[in-house]
Structure 1
């Protein structure tokens, strides 16, 4: 299979180990194991009680009953455990869904720009992929009328990233209902990557699985829950689709492992404590960045709505990749150039880094920008 490189992953693979001030990541300040142990108020006793009684065998192939029960609590609908499949992160869930749903010649519509696999995998599988654009002039929101114009009677799949990486765009319930209505008219599936949960007005966030019968939603504990090291994600779909996905899983992963399942279950069971911590990080760090932007004449952004990813734009006479490499080599600051998301002229800012890292990184970024004054 000849598949394109994922721009952001290729960039991080090459450069992130060189960074002193990493303000490029999309996770909310990853938890240490010590912090994870403290989540239950018992120094992790509830986690180790389960773990100490488990044999380190394959465990539950598609996720333990305890894990599935915690995942089901994240949705408004009554989710059958058989409709939930544990995966290797959201990446694994998306790959599983796309490999099963997309065939050569299919018509696929993908939100764009966003995380490459949501449109590159369908294209590699032989689909005709058309882009549903997020537009700056519309505050990085898509147009429903544009989606209506793109959809055809033979449209097989619509791919969305809610919230968007790197733009932070959050689709409202009304927009999701309109997407569902359009998809329903032609019998299309909707794949919704929901790994970035907005931590502002969370009660108003809706999952596509609660709105559309032919939805597949994917998620993980990596971003919102700050534990990417667990490498645990999941898919939620209809029972019919889940049965098809099971076949693909058997070929590619078998299981995620006993330890990882126990860790992810514990994290989700204690999610309220994590979300309280992470809301505070988002609110504090967003204010820090906003104050910095207000005093930085070369930079602007659409402030993220409680999402851990953000895209900043700058006014400089230099290619964004060239500038980011220079910034890293001279100041030790890591950003992901916007061109890696087909958004040249800016960068993904991981503003949910530890506060000291963020402040120092922004200060050094300003220093680098002064060369253009």
Structure 2
């Protein structure tokens, strides 16, 4: 099997430790352990007491009953037994795609978006058609294009809601129309929901609440600000969950005792975390929009309640070269848009700390001035 390097991950692996002002990340300002405990001091003490008493064995292979119950509670009609703990959202996508896709299958994948959703099926030998989304459509998928691409033998449609890196959201009404098309052909839909919108959540529903052949992947890394735990999950119908149970033994086995306990604690306190994170989203989005009003070389489609965004850069050079120069000269990290097949732009992780965001944007403006002054930057 030939599998491509994930562009965004390779870039961050190479350069994120060099950044002084990291405005590239997609998590909402990662929580500290102290901040987690402060959400509920008594429960926090009990969490660490529980970890202290626990034997450091494999723990619950599929996730503890408490974890599965908390995840099931995020959806309308999900049985805890159909929840499987995974190694973050990335591991969840891997397991789901491996369970669904065989060589020769036909797959339709939203494009451009998070690379594994289209490159993994291709690596497994599927025929993958890109369902291309366009900036002039507000980065929303076009149903007519889906009707043109789908076939009687289409096995799977891969979606990302909300989109990484675009920050755009597929609302319930549009998702229901996508489901109707898929249902006519008996096609599965996998929806990566790790950036599920926190702001105005009533405008979106999970794919598993809309479709009997829907598969949702998610994690506590992005919306819940705890990527360190490396805990994600799949939610799916029972027959698919049983197939993924086998694959987990080859890819994960278990998430571990401490990570399971931490993830369960996070999900039990999700309302406090979401309240904090919606506040960060709104504050930081306003900061960017105020900054952008005075920055003619940058534009965006404002993200809708999610932590990632894509900025369009009016620059006379390759975006990779630009981002590397910005890091070298200003200490500011952005992910080049080309790493998502979105050239002449960058992923802006605008939900960093306020200090990091403000200084990162100030330095970005300083670096952009070279193009207005007509001078070469050394």
TM range (shorter): over 0.9
Q: Find the counterpart in structure 2 of residue 121 from structure 1.
A: 120
- Secondary structure at the aligned position of 1:347 is classed as strand
TM-score of the two chains, using structure 2 as the length reference: 0.97
Q: Find the counterpart in structure 2 of residue 295 from structure 1.
A: 294
Q: Find the counterpart in structure 1 of residue 212 from structure 2.
A: 213
Kept after mapping to 1: 8 A contact 2:70/2:268: yes
Kept after mapping to 1: 8 A contact 2:158/2:190: yes
Please say which of residues 249-258 and 153-162 is displaced more in the overlay: 249-258
Q: Find the counterpart in structure 2 of residue 8 from structure 1.
A: 8
- Secondary structure at the aligned position of 2:74 is classed as coil
- Secondary structure at the aligned position of 1:11 is classed as helix
The total of aligned residue pairs comes to 372
Q: Find the counterpart in structure 1 of residue 73 from structure 2.
A: 73
Q: Find the counterpart in structure 2 of residue 189 from structure 1.
A: 188
Alignment of 1:140-289 (within 5 A): 140-289=139-288
Q: Find the counterpart in structure 2 of residue 17 from structure 1.
A: 17
1:155-211 CA deviation, whole Å, 9 max, x = no partner? 000000000000011111111111111111111110000000212111222000000
Q: Distance in 1 between matches of 2:164 and 2:265?
A: 26
- Secondary structure at the aligned position of 2:110 is classed as strand
Kept after mapping to 2: 8 A contact 1:39/1:270: yes
Shift of 1:41: 3.6
Q: Find the counterpart in structure 1 of residue 375 from structure 2.
A: none
Alignment of 1:279-358 (within 5 A): 279-358=278-357
TM-score of the two chains, using structure 1 as the length reference: 0.98
Unaligned runs of 5+ in 1: none
Kept after mapping to 1: 8 A contact 2:284/2:351: yes
Shift of 1:138: 0.7
1:29-75 CA deviation, whole Å, 9 max, x = no partner? 00011111112243712312432332211111000000001001111
Q: Distance in 2 between matches of 1:192 and 1:14?
A: 29
Kept after mapping to 2: 8 A contact 1:39/1:273: yes
